[in-house]
Amino acid sequence: MIRLTRTRDARLLTGFTGAPLQARLGQLLAYRYEDPAAGADGGVDFKPKARQTWGKAKPQLKQESFGKCAYCEADTAVVAHGDVEHFRPKSSYWWLAYCYDNYTFCCQVCNQTYKGDSFPVTGKRLAPPALPATLPTDAAQLAALAARLCPDPAATTDAAVGKLFGAENADLLNPYTTDPEKYFGWQALPDTQEVLLVPRTASARARRVVKAAEEVLGLNREELRRLRWLVYDELETTALVLQEGNFSAARKRELLARLLRQAEGNRPFAGMRRFFLRRWGLLAS
């Protein structure tokens, strides 16, 4: 997992900002009042296809994550379509169902096989916004109520979003608001040809978020461990050739540049690659 950048350009957020967002949120409120008994907390029934409008965000989210799953960093372009994943599950956080800042692009395995509706927190879980007994009919009142559901992505910042949700102290890392490389480390196991996700430091926070990534997202599932090894093996081989080969200074600079390109954000498992390149003294911390 690597840090991702959320677009704040309204031109790229068609339907998820400005007046279209307010219309979506107004419709969401209507669903909420239509479904007062949906869920233990009075949520919303999102089974009807007409209510599942978040799919329109997929192209932009996919671009932001370089076509990789935002969690496991496996490439989804060839073998899967990928999902618009609700970081905070819509089953528990119905008011964030149409919130662009609550979306990631995610592979079906991380999302459907593992995460599902799980969202462990250490702090106090967010409460749904207080609603009046009946849906306002006045346009201004309805707009004011809708604006309380979620921030407009074109009118906020990553820092503001992190602060808005920070009180929950979520166990899962949001790659848009927190740099996962500060917490995630990697352990290569040559005997079994696997690479494990491990805490980068001994801090309680690092241990907690890695435990959640492993248990909730399945980031240490066998398929990922073995696929990461194939990438690691090639990376280590190239690094050894660079460090031990008898090359001219110019040639070494060229080879190092090519090696570092392998750790750019668009490469699968870029976070793991960067970790080992730093360990080998080839990438600045």
pLDDT score of 39: 47
Residue type for position 256: L
pLDDT score of 20: 93
Query: Do 198 and 187 meet the contact criterion of CB atoms below 8 Å apart?
Result: yes
pLDDT score of 139: 86
pLDDT score of 37: 62
Q: Give every residue of the chain whose pLDDT is below 70, as ranges.
A: 36-42, 78-79
Tokens 């190239």 locate to 238
Alpha helices in 76-221 (DSSP H): 108, 139-147, 158-165, 204-216
pTM assigned to the model: 0.90
Residue 85 to residue 108: CA distance in whole angstroms = 9
pLDDT score of 40: 47
